[in-house]
Amino acid sequence: MKKNHQVAVLVELGVFVAMAVILDFICGIIYELPYGGSISIAMLPVFVVSYRRGWYNGIIAGALFGLIQCLLKPPFILSIPQFIMDYFLAFMVIGLGGIFKNALSKPLPFSLGILLGSTLRYIVASIAGIIFWAEYIPTEIGFMNNLFGMSLGESAIVVGSLLYNALYMLPSMLLCVVIGLALQNRKILAINLTSEK
């Protein structure tokens, strides 16, 4: 039977976005941070999709994962740029992890892809954090004006955002790598792929 490749990709994206939502939900039962962002392996399905179907489809999967989260939970909108970064950009950059070749069969590119995607997401999430806190905290706190040339308020925002996001991104990334490698080891990430080519 001649397979229509496009349909398979679309369906797989849909099912794996669903997987991401479910994993996020299951991990959310265990622990969730107050400002969104929890230690979760929800990124793993997005990485798997982008390894299997290319970074382009990975980016789409990430964007739609963000969109579905807005539809299902009341989204966390504090300002418009923060909303776009937190819900779309932060998840879209995960898909860029798929630029590594052979990530489904070899452990090194697999881990590197997750590292790249998570780092980019960490950067975007931190910038979003800085943007929104900058709107809600007075930055001209008069005293002390010496840390990296920023005022105390500004440096508190930058450091706080970097720390807060590292608090969940680092464990999430490690969990994704450990669990992802275990799944790769059992050779279940490449199911269905060979029959289509």
Tell me which residue of 187, 176, 172 sits closest to 33, measured CA to CA.
Answer: 172
From the list 27-35, 94-102, 109-117, 123-131, the region that binds another protein by CB under 8 A is 27-35
If one asks whether residue 84 binds another protein (CB under 8 A), the answer comes out as: no
> What are the φ/ψ torsions at residue 131 (nearest 5 degrees)?
-60, -45
If one asks whether residue 28 binds another protein (CB under 8 A), the answer comes out as: no
Pick the closer one to another protein by CB: 13 or 169: 13
Q: In Å, what is the CA distance from 72 to each residue of 10, 21, 104?
A: 21, 9, 31
Q: Judged by CB under 8 A, which of 43, 64, 114, 120 binds another protein?
A: 64
Cβ pair 153, 79 in contact under 8 A: no
From the list 87-95, 98-106, 109-117, 187-195, the region that binds another protein by CB under 8 A is 187-195
Pick the closer one to another protein by CB: 4 or 102: 4
If one asks whether residue 194 binds another protein (CB under 8 A), the answer comes out as: no
Pick the closer one to another protein by CB: 123 or 134: 134
Cβ pair 165, 122 in contact under 8 A: yes
3-state secondary structure of 147: strand
Cβ neighbour number for residue 192 with a 10 Å cutoff: 9
Residue 133 CA to residue 156 CA, distance in Å, equals 10
- Taking the complex as a whole, the smallest distance from the CB of residue 138 to another protein amounts, in Å, to 5
**Residue ranges in 101-140 that form contacts with another protein under rule CB under 8 A:** 135-138
If one asks whether residue 12 binds another protein (CB under 8 A), the answer comes out as: yes
In single-letter form, the type of residue at position 177 comes to: V
Percent of residues in the chain assigned helix, strand, coil, to nearest 5: 75, 0, 25
Residues that bind another protein (CB under 8 A): 3-4, 6-8, 10-19, 21-23, 25-26, 29-30, 34-36, 41, 44-45, 48, 60-61, 64, 67-68, 70-80, 135-138, 141-142, 153, 175, 178-179, 182-183, 186, 188-189, 191-192
